[in-house]
Structure formats: structure tokens, C-alpha cells
């Protein structure tokens, strides 16, 4: 690792390239950015075993391919090749700490938008990013005055860089008003998700989360937690429309996502959620998630790719 956190290598269209050589012409900044779709993947360092585990890599690469397809780009590099390249890259960058991995696909073009059949260029970048699981971090949230983008406008199901304009507006507003994070309502006035994570609440001992047709990114963490709650923890999970006022009467609430991991929401619009602290169900979920992602708990080995 270089001192300044820049990795030694970046993976570009099938080849590992030194960081300083992985460049693109400045004229591509706008058009490349608008066309781009990406993934955010975490790898967790297990200090006892001295091993790095990439979490849910196959699921992330499947969603990456889905985003490329939905944007009508052509993916010339197979997911198997990307997976091999990604593991080689992380290994070559010699991480011995929690790491964030970002595959990105974009069109190199002078035009905004893309023509059908455009071949996606694919880049993978890596950076250290320490987990905040079990750190005691909590969030105070507000319901945003911005609505979540809709499936027939800018589909949140696509992990498109351009969608994060909507996220940025909501996050900036939340912080300006003294909150840590925002919660979006969708165009039907129902609760959707946060700017960069999905939402789960607890009511009467059940976990409730907005359905995948609520204007959310189909989160891999959300799917992981649903499976763990149902099959391992014995907690009932309901996926359905969620009213705004349910946020004000929930016993517990938390954001979930690769970046957010499990982040308890302890107030919404200044009303405490439950006791105003991380709740017991959230704690159980955080604990099992922490142990699984780091490979401390040997269950679900198919979710961890060893580097």
C-alpha cells in the first residue's frame, strides 16, 4: 500500500494497471459519469486468521451485470473474469485491513446517454475502509423533503452513479438541518429507503422493510438480513409498503447496506425511536452480521470469498 491510501493497482478492462496509469481524458468526465453504474463491495479482515474475506461477491457481480443490462450496455467481460480480476487486484494491493471495492462500468463516448449495444468499459478500484460494526455508532434521521426517484424516471433498482444526485440532495439537506441521515418517501408517499442504504424497523417483535417495489435499490445486505432473520435468528420479516407514521411508532429502526452495515436509527424527526438507543433485535442482528462477514462464524461460507 502507498502511504497516501492510493492502491498500487487498478483493474481496467481485464488488466491490472498501475494507479497512475489508469487515466481517462478529461472530456469524458461528464459523459462517462452519467452513463456509469457501479457496485460497492466490502472485504473484511480477520485478524486471527490473517485472512481477508470479500462479502457476497457473487451477488454484487450479478447486480452489476443487471445494472449494465438495464442501461443497455454490452458487457464483454464475464462475471467469472471480473471475479478473478477483482480477487487478484485486492491481493496485489496487499490489504491487511477492511477494504472497499468498487467495480464501475461506463461508456466512453462524446455523447450524453448511451446508444444500444455500447460496450461497457469496466474499472475496479479499491481503498481501505474500516468497518463500524459494534462501534456504537447511531444515527438521528429525518424524513426528507426530497422524494425518492421512481422506477419509470430513474430506476433505483439500477445502481447508477446518476441516481446519487437524488441521494446527495437528501443527505446534504439532512446534515444542514442537524441530522445524520435522511429517509426518503417515494412518489406514492410511502417510506422507501435512505440515500445509500435500506431501512428496517421493528414493530411488535417483527422486522418490517419496504418491499422491492417501493423505489429502493435491491440491497444485498437487506436480502442477507432477511435470510438470516428467517433461517437463523427466528425473527419474522415482513416486506411491504411502509407508512411514514410507522417510523414514529417503531420500537427499533436501522439502516442496512454494504457501506452503512447495520446503523441504528435512534430518532426520526426528533422523536426517539423506542428507548432512543440501539434496540435488542438490532443488536442481535448486528452481532451475527459482524461475525459472519469476518468469518468468525463459519455459517454461510458461500457468502465469503477468501482473497
Chain residues that interact with ligand PLP, rule: CB under 6 A = 40, 193, 196-198, 217, 219-222, 257-259
C-alpha closest to that of 303 among 234, 220, 211: 220
Which residues does residue 240 pair with via DSSP β-bridges, in sequence order? 210
Q: How many Cβ atoms sit within 10 Å of the Cβ of residue 280? A: 13
* Cβ at position 248, least distance to ligand PLP in Å: 22
128 or 259: CB nearest ligand PLP = 259
Rounded CA-CA distance 122/117 in Å is 15
159 included as an active-site residue = yes
- 50, 83, 159, 283: which one is catalytic? 159
Rounded CA-CA distance 224/137 in Å is 21
- Is 46:53 a contact under the CB 8 Å cutoff? yes
- Is 16:92 a contact under the CB 8 Å cutoff? yes
* Cβ at position 275, least distance to ligand PLP in Å: 26
Sign of CA dihedral 18, 23, 29, 32: negative
185 or 220: CB nearest ligand PLP = 220
Q: How many Cβ atoms sit within 10 Å of the Cβ of residue 287? A: 15
* Cβ at position 30, least distance to ligand PLP in Å: 21
108 or 223: CB nearest ligand PLP = 223
12 or 158: CB nearest ligand PLP = 158
Angle, vertex CA 11, rays to CA 7 and CA 13, nearest 5:
160
Q: Known catalytic residues?
A: 159
Amino acid at each position: 500500500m502507498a502511504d497516501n491510501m492510493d492502491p498500487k493497482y487498478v483493474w481496467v478492462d481485464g488488466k491490472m494497471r498501475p494507479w497512475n496509469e489508469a487515466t481517462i481524458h478529461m472530456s469524458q468526465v461528464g459523459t462517462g459519469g452519467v452513463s456509469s453504474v457501479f457496485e460497492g463491495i466490502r472485504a473484511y479482515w480477520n485478524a486471527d486468521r490473517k485472512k481477508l474475506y470479500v462479502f457476497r461477491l457473487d451477488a454484487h457481480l450479478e447486480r452489476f451485470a443487471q445494472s449494465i443490462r438495464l442501461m443497455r450496455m454490452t458487457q464483454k467481460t464475464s462475471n467469472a473474469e471480473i471475479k478473478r480480476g477483482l480477487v487478484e487486484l485486492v491481493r496485489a494491493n496487499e490489504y491487511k485491513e477492511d477494504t472497499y471495492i468498487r467495480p464501475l462500468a461506463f461508456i466512453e463516448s462524446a455523447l450524453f446517454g448511451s446508444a444500444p449495444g455500447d460496450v461497457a468499459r469496466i474499472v475496479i478500484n479499491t481503498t481501505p475502509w474500516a468497518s463500524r460494526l459494534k462501534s456504537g455508532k447511531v444515527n438521528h434521521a429525518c424524513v426528507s423533503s426530497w422524494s425518492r426517484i421512481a422506477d419509470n424516471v430513474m430506476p433505483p433498482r439500477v445502481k447508477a452513479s446518476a441516481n446519487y444526485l437524488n441521494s446527495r440532495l437528501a443527505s446534504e439537506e439532512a446534515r444542514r438541518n442537524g441530522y445524520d441521515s435522511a429517509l426518503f418517501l417515494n412518489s406514492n408517499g410511502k417510506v422507501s429507503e435512505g440515500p445509500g442504504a435500506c431501512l428496517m424497523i421493528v414493530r411488535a417483535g417483527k422486522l418490517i422493510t419496504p418491499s422491492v417495489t417501493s423505489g429502493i435499490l435491491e440491497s444485498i445486505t437487506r436480502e442477507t438480513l432477511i435470510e438470516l432473520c428467517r433461517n437463523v435468528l427466528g425473527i419474522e420479516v415482513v416486506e411491504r409498503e411502509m407508512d411514514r407514521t410507522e417510523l414514529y411508532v417503531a420500537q427499533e429502526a436501522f439502516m442496512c447496506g454494504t457501506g452503512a452495515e447495520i446503523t441504528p436509527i435512534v430518532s426520526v424527526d426528533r422523536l426517539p425511536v423506542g428507548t432512543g438507543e440501539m434496540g435488542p433485535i438490532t443488536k442481535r442482528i448486528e452481532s451475527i452480521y459482524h461475525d459472519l462477514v469476518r468469518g468468525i462464524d463459519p455459517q454461510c461460507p458461500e457468502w465469503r470469498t477468501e482473497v
